[in-house]
């Protein structure tokens, strides 16, 4: 990886099932800067690469802070993070990348977060405070015990009424996303990060707004991975031809054949496994490529997508 070697300085329980990890530079040098909404990739054992939003203030150069939810159906990343790392451990990381940037000139930024989706918005709120710009937060959790960073949000809330907590399992109503969007003043920018149901409601509510005012980030896939199989994939650089069997993903087939390919989320969200397509028509199942990019069929996410044609030729 091209980023810094990180030293784990501290772990802290932020809420039920959520732990934060504070990293510093292993060699004492300033860490690469990042912008609000950015994430880093951590290299975990077994070739796992996992992306986590940076929670801390972007003005800080001495540390990176991420938070990890213990997923009920962990594919290895969150389970390892919750059981193995201890202060003093070293972990390789990529340089910060921002696929969910903050538009800093908006008269009002409206954030809608569900569960662990709160993480990118802490850095955004800190940045907007530094700029003297207004923001409002709607934060939905199942219970108060599951609400991470409440004290930090209260400290960031300079008006005293910018943070609205919705505890949906405590007879409190879910946030009315349609009403929130309708109430946003002209020129506001709206952001959402949370489970797919919340993102779908957000996308529908924002249908009449200019696309540049609407921002979302997923942490789970909106579609199932393609596992129908029944096609061949030819690797143009190596000359190998592999058969993708029913019940297996394209990524599984590549890995089983020993093909070195970088991947992270395995859900078509992060873009790590984006691979050029030379021939054939992919069955796109990702949430990373735009509709125009999918229609062009020049690239695909091999972690979750398959093929609509009997043969795919990839630039591998």
The dihedrals phi and psi of 275, each to the nearest 5 degrees, come to -130, 135
17-58 pLDDT, tens digit per residue, is: 999 999 999 998 899 999 999 999 999 887 778 889 999 999
**% of the chain at pLDDT higher than 70:** 96
* DSSP state string for the chain: --S-EEEEEEEEEEETTEEEEEEEETTSPPPPP--TT-EEEEE-GGG-EEEEE--S-TT--S-EEEEEE--TT--SHHHHHHHS--TT-EEEBPPPB-SS---TT-SEEEEEEEGGGGHHHHHHHHHHHHHT-EEEEEEEESSGGG-TTHHHHHHH-SSS-SEEEEETTTTPPPP-HHHHHHHSPTT-EEEEEE-HHHHHHHHHHTTTS-GGGEEEEESS-SSPPP----EEEEETTT--EEEE-TT--HHHHHHHTT-----SSSSSSS-TTEEEEEES-EE---SSS-HHHHHHTSEEETTT-EESSSEEEE--
Given phi > 0 = left and psi -120 to 50 = alpha, else beta, which region is 113?
beta
What does the radius of gyration of the chain's CA atoms come to, in whole angstroms?
20
Strand arrangement, sheet containing 214-218: 163-167, 134-141, 108-114, 189-194, 214-218
Res 235: pLDDT? 96
**Is the predicted pLDDT of residue 143 greater than 70, yes or no?**
yes
Residue range 255-281: average pLDDT? 87
CA gap 180, 288 in Å, rounded: 26
166 token code pair: 């919705």
Superfamily classification of domain 231-314: Beta-grasp domain (3.10.20.30)
Closest CA to 49 of 198, 267, 210: 267
Confidence label for 287 from pLDDT (cuts 50, 70 and 90): confident
CA gap 86, 210 in Å, rounded: 46
Res 242: pLDDT? 95
Confidence label for 117 from pLDDT (cuts 50, 70 and 90): very high
Is beta strand 39-43 parallel, antiparallel or unpaired with respect to 282-283? unpaired
Q: Is the whole model's pTM more than 0.75, yes or no?
A: yes
Res 49: pLDDT? 82
186-221 pLDDT, tens digit per residue, is: 999 999 999 889 999 999 999 999 999 999 998 766
Q: Where are the domains of the chain?
A: 5-92, 108-218, 231-314
Q: Tell me: domain 5-92, CATH 2.40.30.10, correct?
A: yes
> CATH second-level architecture of 108-218?
3-Layer(aba) Sandwich (3.40)
Residue range 291-302: average pLDDT? 94
Res 305: pLDDT? 95
Please say whether the beta carbons of 246 and 229 come within 8 A. yes
**Is the predicted pLDDT of residue 74 greater than 70, yes or no?**
no
Question: In terms of pLDDT, which residue wins out, 227 or 54?
Answer: 54
Residue range 104-131: average pLDDT? 97
């Amino acid at each position: 990886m091209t980023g810094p070697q990180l030293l784990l300085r501290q772990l802290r329980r932020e809420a039920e099932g959520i732990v934060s990890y504070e990293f510093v530079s292993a060699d004492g040098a300033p860490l690469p800067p990042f912008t609000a909404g950015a994430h880093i990739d951590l290299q975990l054992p077994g070739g796992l690469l996992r992306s986590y939003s940076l929670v801390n203030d972007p003005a800080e150069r001495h540390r990176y802070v991420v938070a990890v939810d213990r997923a009920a159906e962990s594919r290895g990343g969150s389970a390892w993070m919750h059981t193995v790392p201890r202060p003093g451990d070293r972990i390789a990381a990529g340089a910060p990348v921002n696929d969910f940037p903050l538009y800093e000139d908006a008269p009002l930024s409206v954030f809608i977060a569900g569960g662990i989706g709160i993480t990118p918005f802490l850095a955004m709120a800190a940045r907007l405070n530094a700029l003297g710009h207004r923001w409002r937060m709607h934060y939905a959790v199942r219970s108060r015990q599951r609400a991470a960073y409440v004290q930090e949000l209260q400290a960031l809330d300079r008006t005293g009424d910018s943070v609205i907590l919705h505890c949906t399992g405590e007879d409190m109503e879910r946030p009315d996303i349609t009403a929130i969007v309708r109430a946003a003043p002209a020129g506001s920018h709206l952001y959402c990060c949370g489970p797919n149901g919340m993102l779908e409601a957000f996308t529908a509510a924002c249908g009449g707004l200019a696309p540049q005012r609407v921002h979302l980030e997923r942490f789970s896939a909106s579609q199932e991975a393609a596992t129908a199989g029944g096609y061949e994939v030819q690797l143009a650089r190596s000359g190998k031809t592999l058969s993708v069997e029913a019940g297996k993903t394209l990524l599984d087939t590549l890995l089983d054949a020993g093909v070195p390919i970088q991947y992270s989320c395995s859900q078509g969200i992060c873009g790590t496994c984006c691979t050029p397509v030379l021939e054939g028509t992919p069955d796109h199942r990702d949430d990373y490529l735009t509709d125009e990019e999918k229609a062009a069929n020049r690239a695909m996410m091999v972690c979750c997508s398959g093929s609509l044609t009997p043969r795919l030729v990839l630039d591998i």
